[in-house]
Chains A and B, each alone.
Chain A
Amino acid sequence: MSLLEVAGLRIAAGARDIVRDLSFSVAEGETLALVGESGSGKSATARAVIGLLPPGLRHAGGRIALAGQDLSALPPATLRALRGPGMGMVFQEPMTSLNPAQRIGAQMAEGLALHTTLDAAARKRACIAMLERVGITDPERRLLAYPHEFSGGMRQRIMLASVMLLRPRLLIADEPTTALDTLTQAEVLALMKELAREQGSSILLITHDLGLVSRHADRALVMQSGQAVEEGPAAPLLAAPRHAYTRALVAALPRRGPARVIPPAPPLIEARSLSVAYPGRGGWFRRAAPMPAVQSVSLSIHPGEVVALVGGSGSGKTTLGRAMLRLLPASGGSLLFGGQDVTARSGPALLDFRLACQIVFQDPYSSLDPRMRVRDIVAEPLRLPAGMAPADRLARAEAMLAEVGLAGLGDRFPHALSGGQRQRVAIARALVRNPAFVVADEAVSALDATVRQQVIALLRDQQRKRGFACLFVTHDLGVVEEIADRVVVMQHGRIVEEGPRDQVLDAPAHDYTRALLAASVRLQG
């Protein structure tokens, strides 16, 4: 018999249905993946199952049954008693799902106090055992720590530990690893599967990542705008998708492009033993020790070349990207642009460098000024160098918008655009002045798979057409495969491996690179 049975589920937001006529079941010990992009209704479905729909969403019809018991018919108190031992939930963002003002131990023991008859000492023992199980060292002392003292991956382990303490029959995991880097992602998911197997729990995994589905799910249900479009055992479904949407999702997975030959030329931009340190938190009269983020890195990028800078969180890759644009000051070494030292330039002397270099940020929600119209955002770079008439600037901006596929949207404000459209605006702003060098800082990491594919294609086409050199900072090896000519791997603020794309990906020399490759889930097709 199946553990969870959902039949004819309908979820409404006001008068609009965001999930329609959805039916599925999860068997004992099975992992079912709900797959879809933003707005497909997959998260709302998960919330409806555990009875925690956010305000504004309504469970408008259909049956949800856990072990034969209809949840919608239960009084709230009985339903609350079911949460925890019946079903537990792990959220996407461990930063916000743990209470920052409470110690880890207190938060973990909360569920045990509520749902079991254990006394305080037994609860503490259970917490320590569980923390040890999820791989937290020195668990007894760590019980007294606060969430901010842990890294994202550790927090997600703790979240998982506190949910699994109650041995739930169904574990709902809503994008549990989206906020983590590749290595941590693989570890946390493996741990989740292990714990579920030990306790005999079923998993309802909500994700947009087909790679995760192929590696971790038994069955998959693909959702598009609130409806199921395809369902079946995970491996065959991904190998031979029947529905057009599933095919589009699978097609959006990164594929390796042909290797290019970059004509030899003197480097365009070159970091020589570049170091960057963040100043410590000082007070009125003391200066704290600076925190080194990039240590004596040498990297040169040639005209027209796409270099991928790869590493996990905290590897210093983003810092290096910013330092190469002089957005962060170097604490040592030098930066050469076109053979000239620009390390110490400032003000007007730096302007030539600024005009030649641009950046595309990861989060298009925060990188566009929300009070400016899209046309004005794209026209702004043309203010410099002075001399272009305002009307010409606007005309050029419109042309650029059309080139990135946003013709006619110049009047909009950023909030009226989708994530992918915003990133196109950010790209248009970066390219409108025809830069020689562009840093793309995780430029596609925040986007849905199909949108990501389109934005990568746009970037690649523009790169081919305009011939700028590009430093692509990313933790996603799929993107690397798609677009990079050369790969540079960073760990702990240093470059550990560097070479042509095919060589680094196919025959990695460094252990860290091998670990990154092993952790990045790819469809074998």
Chain B
Amino acid sequence: MKRLRLNLVIGGTLMGAVLALAVLALAWTPYDPVRTNLRRRLRPPSAEYWLGTDEFGRDVASRLMAGAVTSLGVAAATVLVALAIGIAIGLASGFLRGWVDRVLGAVNDTLLAFPGILLALGLLAVIGPSRSGIVLALGLAYAPTVARVVRGSVLSIREREFVEASRALGNSEGYTLLRHVLPHTAAPVIVLATSLFGWVILSESALSFLGLGVPPPAATWGNMLASARPFMAEAPLLSIAPGALIAMCLLGVNLLGDALRDLLDPRDGA
């Protein structure tokens, strides 16, 4: 119980701070995050530019705030897409079994054989780099992992007698699936979703690094990190600032996920 509170407090504080930053950025940033000023390149932090400026003279603090909106938005949307596709596939193949499971399983295993980022690259090459393209590509790339996890827990839950009891009551298969099977997949899915959130933020930065991320000049934490690399020696803060925010955000999401999983478990909630 004590650990749960601590998870909730720390995770909540970190995510709250990051979210507040993003919400604030929608209304106000110190400077225009995309306006370049080549006479003020790579300035150190000062009263004027709190975190200095980047290689194009853009204000780092403003870009971090604007980046929070993009990065969090892309990550959240991607995770939702991956969950939606993955849960649907996982439920179908775990609950229906038979040839549905065989076919979906074979496709799923084939997709799982590719590293997620490679799959996303391939998909992006077809869709073309754009915000929605990235969400769709990464979402599809990570859906097989979700499907695997969901299928596994459905397979074990469907053998429990309360599922048979639900059938004996005359409940339809759909109702049984949604009322008695789906809720039990929540714990592993929440844990997976929070780590997915982290992977997606990192994958997005890797894609940006390859020029396939959210197209410039829009700021994301990933592309800020990527473009700061050549200036690591002269302006270390350029990489440290977005790096620290990514780390903070991942820690927050993971702690919050753990707390949520514990809260949803009736054994702890009662």
Contact = CB atoms under 8 A, between A and B. Distances in A.
Chain A bound to chain B: yes
Interface of A: 284, 325, 327, 350-351, 354-355, 357-359, 361, 363, 366-371, 380-381, 383-384, 412-413, 415-416, 426, 429
Contact of B267 (A361, A383, A384, A413): A413
A383 B171 contact: yes
12 contacts: A327-B164, A350-B170, A351-B170, A354-B169, A357-B168, A358-B169, A361-B161, A366-B160, A384-B170, A413-B270, A415-B266, A429-B169
A483 B171 CA distance: 30
A366 B170 contact: no
B213 to A, nearest CB: 40
B162 A369 contact: yes
Nearest to A360: B165
A354 B170 contact: yes
Instruction: Report the 5 A-B pairs with minimum CB-CB distance, sorted nearest first.
Output: A354-B170, A367-B161, A413-B266, A369-B162, A366-B161
B102 A284 contact: yes
B254 to A, nearest CB: 24
Given A355-B170, A366-B160, A415 B165 contact: no
A371 B268 CA distance: 11
Contacts of B164: 327, 359, 361, 367
B115 interface: no
A111 to B, nearest CB: 35
A359 B164 CA distance: 10
Interface in B151-200: 160-162, 164-171, 180, 183-184
Interface of B: 102, 160-162, 164-171, 180, 183-184, 266-267, 270
A429 B166 CA distance: 10
A79 to B, nearest CB: 36
Given A369-B180, A371-B183, A371-B184, A416 B270 contact: yes
A152 B183 CA distance: 34
B183 A384 contact: no
B162 A368 contact: yes
Contacts of B170: 350-351, 354-355, 384
B171 A327 contact: no
A354 B168 contact: yes
A416 B269 CA distance: 11
Contacts of A383: 171
B162 A366 contact: yes
A380 B162 CA distance: 12
A416 B160 CA distance: 19
A384 B167 CA distance: 12
A367 to B, nearest CB: 4
B165 A367 contact: yes
A103 B161 CA distance: 32
A421 to B, nearest CB: 15
A508 to B, nearest CB: 32
Contacts of B166: 369, 380
A384 B165 contact: no
B188 to A, nearest CB: 14
Contacts of B184: 371
A327 B167 contact: yes
Contacts of A429: 165, 169
A367 B162 contact: yes
Given A368-B165, A371-B183, A380-B169, 19 more contacts: A284-B102, A325-B168, A327-B167, A350-B170, A354-B170, A357-B168, A358-B168, A358-B169, A366-B161, A366-B162, A367-B160, A367-B161, A368-B162, A369-B162, A380-B171, A412-B270, A415-B266, A416-B270, A429-B165
Contacts of B169: 354, 358, 380-381, 384, 429
B270 A361 contact: no
Given A351-B170, A381-B169, A415 B161 contact: no
A498 to B, nearest CB: 25
A359 B168 contact: yes
Contacts of B165: 359, 361, 367-368, 426, 429
A301 B167 CA distance: 22
A295 to B, nearest CB: 23
A517 B228 CA distance: 83
Contacts of A367: 160-162, 164-165
A418 to B, nearest CB: 15
Given A371-B184, A371-B266, A415-B267, A384 B161 contact: no
A325 B161 CA distance: 14
A357 to B, nearest CB: 7
A371 B266 CA distance: 6
A37 to B, nearest CB: 24
Contacts of A284: 102
A368 B165 CA distance: 8
Contacts of B171: 380, 383-384
B158 to A, nearest CB: 12
B162 to A, nearest CB: 4
Nearest to B167: A327
Nearest to B157: A369
A45 to B, nearest CB: 29
Contacts of A415: 266-267, 270
Nearest to A284: B102
Nearest to A364: B161
Nearest to A413: B266
Contacts of A371: 183-184, 266
Contacts of A354: 168-170
A351 B162 CA distance: 18
Contacts of B270: 412-413, 415-416
A415 B165 CA distance: 18
Identify the interface centre among B162, B171, B270: most chain A CB within 10 Å of its CB: B162
